[in-house]
Structure 1
Amino acid sequence: MALRLSSVLALASLFTSTIADWEPIQEYNWYKDYYPSSEDYCFNGCYTTADYVTFNVTPAGGADDYYLNLCSNDLKIKSIFYCAQKYCTYEEAVAGRNQMSPSCEGNAGFPLPTVDSMRISQEELDQVPVINSTTGLATAPPEGVAINTPIVPDQEWLDLSIRTVKEFYVNWDVSFDFAFALIGFWGLVLLIGIVHRATVFFGKAPGSGEASWWLWTRKNLILPATFGKHQAEAVAWTYTVPPRLESIILFAYVIMNFVMCFPAYNLFVGNQYYAANKLQLARYIADRTGFLSIAQLPMVWVFAARNDPFMWLTGWSFATYNRFHRWIARISVVHAVVHSIAYTVFEFIEYGDASGYNLSWTAEYWYCGAIATIIMSLMLVFSGYYFREKFYDLFLIVHIGMSIIFFVTLWYHVKIFGGEFNYFLYPCIAIWSIDRLLRIGRTVFISVMPRFTKGVKATATYHRTTEMVRLDIADFMPEKKIVPGLYYYLYMPAGLRGYESHPFTLCSWRRSGSNAASPTHSINDKEVETSVRPVSSEYSSGETAHTMLVRPYAGMTARLQRKLLSTHTTVTSTQETIFLEGPYGEPLDLSGYSDILVICGGSGITAAISHTHFLLSANSTTKIHIAWAVPQRHLPDDICANELASAIHSERVNMTVYLTSAAEEEAHDPAKLPAHPPYEIRFGRPDVEGVVRGCRAGARGSLAVVTCGTPQMSDVCRRAVVKVLGEEGVEVGWFNETMVW
């Protein structure tokens, strides 16, 4: 074990020294223009030596005003310029002075003198005392004796100072390079996603066969869970594991972040900033992890935006972007915590006790940084799966509030660098602002503009037996086409919690002529017959309706349910003002497949409804097979009397209902329910793998499997599709429409 550890350290040392010797630095002047470049090192070395000497000059601005004391200290200024005249070229002296002067002008109110105005004759220069580092440090109070004249360092001391300046900024230079490399990593990932989507768009139609390498990639990398069967379903109510390919990408990113924490720490004895090696190491680690932490923020904001153009360009789901958002944020928090710990260690080592550490808490940048780190850590804790699932609305408002506090305190934390780190903060502001404006714009276009014509009232209907709220919104979206795959965020602005929103699939469907007047026929009003199955040509009659089927849980949906339950009738309805934000998601046209299997549970039937009506209206021969798991028969019969009334009898539509809790005799009781349902009834939970294999065996050319249900159902469907891929049979595609918050 010791041998292996020593080998790793030796390799790390080699890697470190290699990167530390990179030349030149200062590659990106546009974002770090206050850095000393190679020609500035000599002048900066002179400044560093002079800064170590205590001159007999009364401070002009008090002990705490560093730049005023520096720039008004005539003996120190002369020492810097005389050193530059002795050791630096004229060009180096001018470049160093020009690089340092803005600090004096901006922080002390006046610039440094010019190089020419400070030049003295060679005879005068030879008379200036030359001292070494030991003599210079001996002037420090309280025991030291201050110097009354300008001084010039000896060559050895100047060389150490130049090396000190160079190593410090090499570390910062490498840190900036690594920060941009992290952004480049995700740029490359997104580029690959865009290229892949373009390839798929211009590629072969479903059923024309898959290349063996692509089939292997889908089966072993893209579709399967990383470990076992859990992906959407949380492990022990604690965390979810991304799909395998996403996990590989994130694992590579974690390793990249880990490796970037170590290179370019060239520690040496005689460092003029930090004498002890452990002090140098603490400072360098603190700086590096601070860079890496703040560099994550643009990606955190990009992957959290609802209106992300990359989502459309890559075709990836919001769930994928949300997983990237969470993992990048976690990495940023880890870097921030290490950054804070390393600086704390640095302060204790530098001062030898807690005095310097306690003094640091009086500085704005220090306590603001501490607050930002604490807020980040709390956000990480309260973003766990359990809190998101159980208290989503509370999680969301707390998350946004903490994000604002974090961002403000971070801004003041890095303010001392004069905008150097704002290149990482400005994109976050821009992304958030544009996303919010687009969200407001989408909401106004869909939910406010119609108020000038028909209003934004939705008919909310609740049936006690089905335990489902039906929101009919067709009145203010009459021209919307049937497009599966889209979803909207639903707001109910009445009350103090009108800011809450939840995503719901828009269930678009075609009303039959007899149903056009009322979209809310119940199972008690209509007998569903199966003796007549009209051909597809009769499907086009009727108008397009738009509905959201809402299963009440907590928060906004529970309040709506309680309002509708205020009356004691079996079916109750009311007019509700709602706002819709959207649409989001990708339109999903599966008409290229010969057969489609929709596996859904409960309110997940909305996906099946939209796909069914879309495909029946499309110029295709695609057959739709629906496997629907529900506790009782009431909801399937209600849906068949309403949303599927004009489609369920088509010979291209076949539905099997799996009753998961109803007794067999109750399910067939003609006194309670229609005696001839237009679907097949089975009992118990569906054998998903068996259903997929059965549909695949009967498919004519290709099969698309669509999932919309609980996370558990999503994982079971994913596993089943992965198992059948590569086996003898038609091509299989998998599309997951399970909502992820």
Structure 2
Amino acid sequence: MDTDRRSPAAFAELVATATLKARADHAAGTEEPTGTSTIAPYATALWGVNQSANLVFVDAMWWILGIMALIILAIRLTEIGWMYIRQVTAMNSTGVQQNYWKFTQWSWLPSLKKNLLYAPFWKKRHNREIKLSEAVNMGTVPSRLHSLFLFVLLGSNLFAMFWLHWRTENMYKLCAEIRGRSGTLALVNMVPLIFLAARNNPLIAWLKISFDTYNLVHRWLGRLVVIESLIHTIAWAIVQVADGGWSSVRERIDTDLFISSGVVGTVCLVFLMILSFSPLRHAFYETFLNVHIILAFTIFICTLLHCLVSEIGHLPQLPWIVAIMILWFIERVWRMITLAYLNWSSKGYTEAVIEAMPGETTRVTMHLPRYLDVKPGSHAYLRFKDISPWECHPFSIAWVQHTADAKALPTHEKESSGAIIDKRRATTSVSFVVGAQTGFTRKLFNRATKGGKASVSLRAAMEGPYGGHHSLDSYGHVVLFAGATGITHQISYLRPMIEAFNRGTIATRRITLIWIIREYEALEWVRPWMDAILRLPNRKEILNIQLFVTRPRNPREIVSVSSTVQLFPGRPNIPMLLRKEVREQQGAMCVTVCGAGALADDVRSATRDVLDEDTVIDFIEESFTW
């Protein structure tokens, strides 16, 4: 049939089909722009954007992250199962009878631990901060395992970013392809960037990886997002300037919400990265934290607008930013709900008692109005209404004490003393030791010393507990290193383990606590708790304590109490101490450390040295880099 004789309905259908195809090609970025200009079209919409390749790389990024998470999860599940079997089979055995678990079952495992799992990136330094001066801190060096993960993450982004049609004759079309790829990758990386920054990130518990590690990945993902967003903006600006000059750039920023939201978001990202540089972050941490949250929220809004008001309608990346904002919002709301629940009940509000201790240290006891179950090795965030109500900082939990209501009927749980308590009516006191540095911790210490009182009561709030994922119950031999206030993390294990030893529910037969302090007076930080531990039944059979006072005022005060509680002047020879423990090893051994970066690196190095033996030795480092 001749075209002119077609019915109006058929002609309308033909036009509609052609229009839909044109729109589809435009959205996919596959059709060449019409007209004589080889510049202007590539500054708008998805002209020149290789959307199909972008989606392939998006899927690849998700697969890479997912596969790594599944591998770690499989390893963790295997470890948990193995540790459970070890604990069940060894808890009724003496230390000598645990020889099966003392020696490694896989000859390659000690070498893997020494050269990858526990190894610093280079030589010895890992958690010891790199300082250009006393005031300028450049952060820490990743371990080899962390570096391997970051290499995969950065390498996959680099490959995806530069897999482009470099032979394209039209450079402005190439700029459009770069713009599309960089923008897509920036939003892809924003999803794990936000997810891993959350304190309530479920992967922490599932994979048993510390928040400190996720914080490291968060920082590197943030750098990737900033760089890719900058590339995205610059690629657009090159085409726009070539088409209409800098005046057209200013005009589009002023009049086009799509462009202005993108530019403002990029500027906020750059400003956020500058503030995140280690010297600035450490010098003004409280300010950085608050500005960080404000800028992050601004970036969310700008990205959402950028994806909503483009020339083609909604950008394909819109669901990602919506998911990011939902994750961020849910985590914040959940934190507020749990904060309110934990610190308020019909019994009243949380009250903190702060005491000034020797060595410019503050002992803090939070009296919560509820019962709270706290695992050893946990930490919590503290907030004080009369000191810095908008600031909260993490500290290791040293001691937990449950108090039963005298009027309550004994229906639920046994306290460590054997008394039965009702969780619904009981309350919990949680104690910390906080060294006074600068900012928040200095204000806290000054408030404790103000007025000359022995203690000061303040309205406060506690968020947590977090962490506590490392169980030591399956190890026959445990060595705990602590430096200064790092004792808070290590002392939290002692009472539960000694009580479990008396019940016959753990494999541990020997615990050695090595605590390094500057002055003898530092013993006052933990004296009431240590006295309670030393009075526990059968304590001498399992616990040995070695205290090293590096700057004793009077050598006469360094007197060993007994063969199981020994005091020494000076610094310890950590390699020698650890070799001695290995010679007397009972069952599988775990070495843990909590303290300054230099101490952690020394213990890590000494542990790697003894991994040449064929015995089972695991290493755990508790740290919180900020």
Q: TM-score, normalised by structure 2?
A: 0.81
CA separation in 2, counterparts of 1:457 and 1:505?
18
The alignment status of 1:630 with 2:517, answered yes or no, reads: yes
1:653 and 2:565 correspond: no
Moved more, 255-264 or 429-438: 255-264
Residue 717 (structure 1) aligned with residue 603 (structure 2): yes
Q: 1:600: which partner in 2?
A: 482
> Shift of the alpha carbon at 1:501?
0.5
Q: Whole-Å Cα distance in 1 between the matches of residues 180 and 159 of structure 2?
A: 15
> Which residue does the alignment assign to 1:172?
51
Does residue 242 of structure 1 match 2:135? Answer: no
Shift of 1:644: 0.9
1:176 deviates by 2.5
1:505 to 389, 396, 402: 396
Q: Using the TM superposition, give the Cα deviation of residue 427 of structure 1 relative to its aligned residue in structure 2, in angstroms.
A: 1.6
Distance 1:170 1:214, change over 3 A: farther
Instruction: Tell me if 1:427 matches 2:327.
Output: no
1:490 matches 2:382: yes
Q: In the comparison of the two structures, how many residue pairs are matched?
A: 555
Would the alpha carbon gap of residues 480 and 366 (structure 1) be closer, same or farther in structure 2, given more than 3 Å must change? closer
Aligned-partner Cα distance in 2 for 1:475–1:297: 37
- Residues 257 and 482 (structure 1), Cα distance of their counterparts in 2 relative to 1, 3 Å cut: closer
User: CA shift at 1:461, angstroms?
Assistant: 1.5
CA 1:693–1:457: 2 relative to 1, 3 Å: same
Q: 2:240 aligns with which of 347, 366, 386?
A: 347
Q: C-alpha displacement at 1:726, in angstroms? A: 2.9
Q: Is 2:277 aligned against 1:384?
A: yes
Matched, 1:233 2:118: no
Q: Contact 1:505–1:548 at 8 Å: present in 2 too?
A: yes
State the shift of 1:323 in Å.
0.8
Partner of 1:193: 72
For residue 668 of structure 1, report the CA deviation from its aligned partner. 4.3
Equivalent residue number for residue 554 of structure 1: 438
Alpha-carbon displacement from aligned partner over 1:280-339 (angstroms, at most 9, x marks no partner): 122221221111112211110011011111111111000111111111111111111122
Counterpart CA distance in 2 for 1:355 and 1:389 is: 40
Superposition deviation, residue 252 in structure 1: 1.7
Secondary structure of 1:437's aligned partner: helix
- What amino acid is aligned across from residue 439 of structure 1 in structure 2? R
Distance, in Å, in 2 between the alignment partners of 1:279 and 1:415 is 24
Deviation string, structure 1 residues 618-650 (Cα, Å, up to 9, x no partner) = 13443221111111111225523x011122362
- Map of 2:154 onto structure 1: 254
Residues 419 and 720 (structure 1 numbering): CA distance in 2 closer, same or farther, change over 3 Å?
farther
**Worse-superposed segment, 415-424 or 246-255:** 415-424
Structure 1's 98 and 408: CA in aligned 2 closer, same or farther, altered over 3 A? same
Consecutive unaligned residues of structure 2, counting only runs of 5 or more, are 27-32, 87-100, 132-136, 403-415, 422-427
Q: What RMSD, in angstroms, separates the aligned Cα atoms of the two structures?
A: 3.4
Query: CA–CA distance in 2 between the matches of 1:169 and 1:91?
Result: 29
Shift in Å at residue 611 of structure 1? 0.9
Aligned-partner Cα distance in 1 for 2:443–2:491? 26
- Asked if structure 1 preserves the Cα contact closer than 8 Å seen for 2:344 and 2:369, the reply is no
Residues 668 and 675 in structure 1, CA contact (< 8 A), matched pair in contact too? no
Shift of 1:264: 4.3
Letter in 1 for 2:394: P
SS at match of 1:566: helix
What CA deviation, in whole Å up to 9, does each residue of 1:382-420 have, x standing for no partner?
Answer: 112233333221111011111112222222233333332
Q: Would the alpha carbon gap of residues 545 and 678 (structure 1) be closer, same or farther in structure 2, given more than 3 Å must change?
A: farther
Secondary structure of the 1:636 match is: helix
C-alpha deviation, 1:438, in angstroms: 2.0
Q: Is the 8 A contact 1:240 1:385 kept in 2?
A: no
Displacement after TM superposition at 1:435 (Å):
1.0
- Summarize the Cα distance change of 1:645–1:246 in structure 2 as closer, same or farther, 3 Å threshold: same
- What is the one-letter code of the residue matched to 2:612? G
Query: 1: CA distance between counterparts of 2:25 and 2:340?
Result: 49
Shifted more, 211-220 versus 369-378: the winner is 211-220
Q: Identity of counterpart residues, as a percentage? A: 22
Read off the aligned partner of 1:625 and give its amino acid letter.
T
Tell me which of 575, 579, 591 is aligned to 2:473: 591
Q: Secondary structure at the match of 1:628?
A: strand
Give the residue type in structure 2 aligned to 1:659.
V
User: Cα distance, 1:266 vs. partner?
Assistant: 7.0
**SS of residue in 1 equivalent to 2:589:** strand
Compared with structure 1, are the counterparts of its residues 609 and 262 closer, same or farther at alpha carbon in structure 2 (3 Å cutoff)? Answer: closer
Pairwise CA distance, 1:466: 4.2
Give the SS at the match of 1:644.
helix
If you compute each CA radius of gyration, which structure gives the higher value, 1 or 2? 1
Partner Cα distance (1:635, 1:202) in 2: 40
Q: Quote how far apart the aligned CAs of 1:244 are.
A: 0.9
1:502 CA displacement: 0.8
Q: Which residue of 1 aligns with 2:342?
A: 446
Q: Distance in 2 between matches of 1:708 and 1:557?
A: 19
Instruction: Determine the C-alpha separation between the residues in 1 that align with 2:601 and 2:13.
Output: 67
Query: Paired residue for 2:617?
Result: 732
Q: Which has the higher contact order (CA 8 A, sep 6+)?
A: 2
Contact 2:49 2:179 in 1 (8 A): no
Q: For 1:304-703, what aligned pairs fall within 5 Å after superposition?
A: 304-351=197-244, 353-362=245-254, 363-417=256-310, 418-420=313-315, 421-449=317-345, 452-453=346-347, 455-463=349-357, 465-473=358-366, 476=369, 479-480=371-372, 483-494=375-386, 497-508=388-399, 540=417, 546-568=430-452, 572-618=454-500, 619=504, 620=506, 621-637=508-524, 639-640=526-527, 642-648=528-534, 650-651=539-540, 652-665=542-555, 667-668=557-558, 679-703=565-589
Write out aligned runs for 1:135-146 (5 A): 137=36
Q: CA deviation at 1:453?
A: 1.5
Question: Which amino acid is 2:19 matched to?
Answer: R
1:360 is displaced (CA, Å) by: 3.0
Range moving further from structure 2, 250-259 or 230-239: 230-239
> Shift of residue 93 of structure 1?
6.3
Q: Which runs of 5+ in 1 are unaligned?
A: 1-80, 105-132, 139-160, 270-276, 512-538
The change in CA–CA distance for 1:368 and 1:235 in structure 2 (over 3 A counts) is same
| Aligned residue number for residue 108 of structure 2 | 213
SS at the partner of 1:212?
coil
- Opposite residue 558 of structure 1, the aligned amino acid is R
Q: Please tell me the residue identity of whatever aligns with 2:549.
A: L
| Contact map agreement 1:490 1:579 (CA 8 A) in 2 | yes
Provide closer, same or farther for how the CA distance between residues 279 and 307 of structure 1 changes in structure 2, counting only shifts above 3 A: same
Letter in 2 for 1:265: H
**One-letter identity of the residue aligned with 2:116:** L
1:30-49 equivalent positions in 2, closer than 5 A: none
Is the contact between residue 164 and residue 178 of structure 2 (CA under 8 Å) also seen in structure 1? no
Q: Could you tell me whether the CA contact under 8 Å between 2:49 and 2:180 is conserved in 1?
A: no
Deviation readout 1:201-224 (Å, 9 max, x if unpaired) = 112525363412333322222111
How far residue 181 of structure 1 moved from its aligned partner, in angstroms, is 2.2
